[in-house]
Homo-oligomer: A and B are copies of this chain.
Amino acid sequence: MEDSAPRRGRVTFGWLVGLSQVLGLVSVVLTGVWMGQYKGGFAWDGSAQQFNVHPLCMVLGLVFLQGDAILVYRVFHNEAKRNIKILHGIIHLLALCISIIGFVAVFNFHKVSKIPDMYSLHSWVGMATIVLFFLQWVIGLLFFLFPVASSWLRASYLPIHVFCGLGLLVMSIGSCLLGITEKLLFSLPTYSQFIPEGVLANVLGVLLVCFGGVVCYMVTKEDYRRPPNPEEESLSVYFKTLTEGQSPSSP
């Protein structure tokens, strides 16, 4: 009877993980359908089809993969922490690369079509997000995967790293919603008539908000934190010396 509450907690957690994956995957698919079905598909020739690569990359990289990279610490409870750290870093790197492809796609399209860059709120928030995302990844790599910072510094930085990670996911989703609104207002004069394309794009926006909500809930809920395991060493300590002491607690 005593362990029924934790078990129920793990079952709920499992459902939430499933829900997050459904929300994330459906968002990626809907973006693909919107760009593929309604906007003429994909290309890499400076045309409007090249622009279509941008939303797909941002939803896939900056939202879905970033969210999943954050979740690995909660999902893989029984794996060695160093493995999870590497997985966390690799998925974030993949998210970063896909996001950069998405950025190149839109800047190249703008250049060919002589459309001004960086004037809209979407571009300001989006650019801030990708720059901070890159910085967060580099600092995370230096602090937690390589022994650059002292244990004290790493322990102090960890809560900031976690807070900024969730903040960047929220900013990414906000940027996507701004982008959806821009795209609809620029290219859909019949948006106000509740036509399928407009409704599909709105639903995409709502799903992205729900994805962010579920991921943030799972990461901030105390019960779902990875339990501390004194037998495990952080990878930085593992690389440097096995005798230096305890690593900071897991994010």
Contact = CB atoms under 8 A, between A and B. Distances in A.
A179 B93 CA distance: 33
A177 B121 contact: yes
A182 interface: yes
A216 interface: yes
Contacts of A194: 119
Interface in A111-137: 115-116, 119-122, 124-125, 128
Contacts of A115: 192
A198 interface: yes
Contacts of A159: 221-222
Quickly give the copy total for this chain.
2
A209 B168 CA distance: 11
A29 to B, nearest CB: 18
A170 interface: yes
B221 A180 contact: no
Contacts of A221: 159, 163
Contacts of A174: 173-174, 177, 209
A241 interface: no
B121 A192 contact: no
Interface in A198-251: 198, 201-202, 205-206, 209, 213, 216-217, 220-222
A222 B158 CA distance: 13
A191 interface: yes
Contact of A213 (B167, B181, B206): B167
A186 interface: yes
A185 interface: yes
25 contacts: A116-B192, A119-B198, A120-B181, A120-B184, A120-B192, A120-B202, A121-B180, A121-B184, A121-B205, A121-B206, A124-B202, A125-B206, A128-B206, A163-B217, A163-B221, A170-B170, A173-B174, A174-B177, A177-B177, A178-B178, A178-B181, A181-B181, A181-B182, A185-B185, A220-B220
